[in-house]
Amino acid sequence: MTDAAALLSAFDAQARPAEWEFPEGDATVDRDGPLFRVSWPNRRGFVAGPPDLGVEGDALDELIARQRDFFTARRQSAEWKTWSHDRPADLPDRLVAAGFTPEDTETVVIGLAEDMVAPVPLDGIVLRETRHWADIQRLVAASSEAFGKDVSFLIDYLIAKKDDPDTVIVVAEAEGRIVSSARLEIVPETDFCGLWGGSTLREWRGRGIYRALVAHRARVALARGRKYLQVDASEDSRPILERLGFVPVTTTTGFVWRPR
């Protein structure tokens, strides 16, 4: 199964529902019609649903308003995640009209783990898995430098995930420093794993580290009985992933409500 339609069908059936069927931590999941609303005590909420909401027009506007009002009452922001193949097609426009702000659009790409495992020779660069607090601080500092923005908020997230057996954190070290990192997150009770957080310091790009991190995580995925690797890819990483054999299946955009 490598054609885009079949991969998208597997994604819609397995990976998407996992967002609300297996939420992280102390989440509360509420159902509102076709939607699933996930809320936490102290973090941004999440709203999503199936590919076809089956609601249009005024009824859709009312559904959007209820989610907005719910998080406004909690004084919390929330992300409503959309995919470009979803219905109704005017959902993004209605979210904007209701006061939601779109974030960057990313391309969902999916590949077969068995096709991604070929070893990549690295000169003077060592890959290793880690769960150590000090390494997490170092990798987040390196990621902030690589992305050109502060991502220190990831420290708390990765500290909370470091003992999770379904999360694998991988770093690439050279000359005594972490120069790249990424993680694998196994989606419970599915054939999917997500690849997240890939970043490489500028001076270390073009040496195969990104490909090596994908291959390492693909081998972990296969060892754990998973078939598919999925990435919400930026425009920087999408071409690299496509060259590795990943297939674009849709795009995704988060629309964020921020109470005043």
The residues of the chain scoring below 70 in pLDDT are: 1-2
Tell me: the pLDDT tens digits for 164-180?
999 999 999 999 999 99
Number of C-beta neighbours around residue 134 at 10 A: 8
At 2 the pLDDT is 67
| Greatest C-alpha distance within the chain | 60
The DSSP 8-state label assigned to residue 61 in this structure reads: H
| Contacting residues for 197 by C-beta, under 8 A, at least 6 apart | 143, 154, 181, 182, 183
If you write DSSP's letter for every residue of 134-190 in order, what string do you get?
A: HHHHHHHHHHHHHHTS--TTHHHHHHHHTT-TTEEEEEEEETTEEEEEEEEEE-TTS
At 145 the pLDDT is 95
Closest CA to 257 of 66, 99, 93, 48: 99
Thinking of the domain 117-244, which architecture would CATH place it in?
3-Layer(aba) Sandwich (3.40)
Thinking of the domain 4-106+252-257, which architecture would CATH place it in?
3-Layer(aba) Sandwich (3.40)
At 42 the pLDDT is 86
Asked if 111 and 215 touch (Cβ cutoff 8 Å), the reply is no
Residues of the chain with CATH 3.40.630.30: 117-244
Burial class (CB in 10 A: 0-12, 13-18, 19+), 241: buried
- The whole-angstrom separation of Cα 113 and Cα 245 is 10
- The whole-angstrom separation of Cα 48 and Cα 78 is 11
| Contacting residues for 222 by C-beta, under 8 A, at least 6 apart | 113, 114, 117
At 82 the pLDDT is 97
